[in-house]
Amino acid sequence: MAISPISCGWRTRSARTAINLEPCPDCGALVGGRDACQKLFEALGLRAFEDSRYAALRRLAVDCYACQHDRYILSGRSLAAHLTGVAVAIEHGGAEEVNERVQSWLSRTRHIEKPAVPRARGAITIADVAGTAPEDYAAAVRRWAGSVWDAWREHHALAREWIAAAVRR
Ligand SMILES: [Zn+2]
């Protein structure tokens, strides 16, 4: 009696999912769902320890990813932290002292009203950034930031207000 190859069905199924990957429900990247997306983000984080080109843009990559994923922007304060990071990169040339002022302002501010999160979070996602060569990484993250900032356009004024409040003091 022939033994049927039990791995056959599994192989067929996994081959199909490899071709037709499920989107991340938050950012829409076709990476195989939310957990797979999170794993890509974590892997990118590890590269920052090994390569200074990744480390230099770590803060911005985290802010971009956070603004596209609900779990990182549950409160008004966490949204303010990440959205202002993207804003500072785009509108203040990534000025470190502005980020520091915002951080200090956030640490003194108990409650920040959270606006409605836009449904579309930007056409560029971690899927477009994670696979780039190290020498192209900086440009890819900047494109990512531009796309995220554009997706949040209805809250640009609010992000600028947050930055202004932080810089004022
Ligand atoms: Zn995602």
pTM above 0.75, yes or no: yes
Nearest to residue 27, comparing CAs of 165, 129, 157? Answer: 129
CA of 5 to the centre of ligand 1 (A): 36
Contact of 125 with 29, CB cutoff 8 Å: yes
Distance between Cα 136 and ligand 1 center (Å): 21
Examine residue 6 and state whether it is found in any structural domain, yes or no: no
The values of phi and psi at residue 35, to 5°, are: -65, -40
| 134 within domain boundaries | yes
CA dihedral 64, 95, 106, 147 (to 10 degrees): -20
Using the mean position of ligand 1's atoms as its centre, give its distance from the Cα of residue 82 in Å.
16
Question: Does residue 129 fall inside a structural domain?
Answer: yes
Residue 11 domain flag: no
Question: What are 43-70's pLDDT values in tens digits?
Answer: 999 999 999 999 999 999 999 999 999 9
Residue 94: closest CA among 85, 83, 104: 85
* Distance from the alpha carbon of residue 64 to the mean position of ligand 1, in angstroms: 11
| Residue 112 alpha carbon to ligand 1 centre in Å | 25
pLDDT value for 9: 41
Q: Do 136 and 51 form a contact (C-beta atoms < 8 A)?
A: no
CA–CA separation, 92 vs 47, rounded Å? Answer: 26
The predicted pLDDT at position 94 comes to 86
Per-residue pLDDT of the chain (169 residues; tens, 9 = 90+): 444 444 444 444 444 445 679 999 999 999 999 999 999 999 999 999 999 999 999 999 999 999 999 999 999 999 999 999 999 999 999 899 999 999 999 999 989 999 999 999 999 999 999 999 999 999 999 999 999 999 999 999 999 999 999 998 6
Ligand 1 center from residue 163 Cα (angstroms):
26
2: in domain: no
Q: How many Å lie between the centroid of ligand 1 and the Cα of residue 105?
A: 29
Whole-number Å distance, alpha carbon 23 to ligand 1 midpoint, is 8
Please tell me the distance between residue 50's alpha carbon and the centre of ligand 1 in angstroms.
23
In a domain, 10, yes or no: no
> What pLDDT score does 169 carry?
65
So what's the pLDDT on residue 8? 41
DSSP state of 29: -
pLDDT at position 120 is 95
> Separation of 69 CA from ligand 1 center, angstroms?
6
Domain assignment of residue 12, yes or no? no
Domains identified in the chain, total number: 1
Give a yes or no: residue 105 inside a domain. yes
Nearest Cα residue to 83 out of 29, 151, 22: 151
User: What is the structure's pLDDT at 19?
Assistant: 63
Distance 115 CA to ligand 1 centre (A): 20
Q: What is the predicted pLDDT for the residue at 13? A: 46
Question: How remote is the CA of residue 121 from the centroid of ligand 1, in Å?
Answer: 10
Give the domain extent around 34. Answer: 22-114+121-168
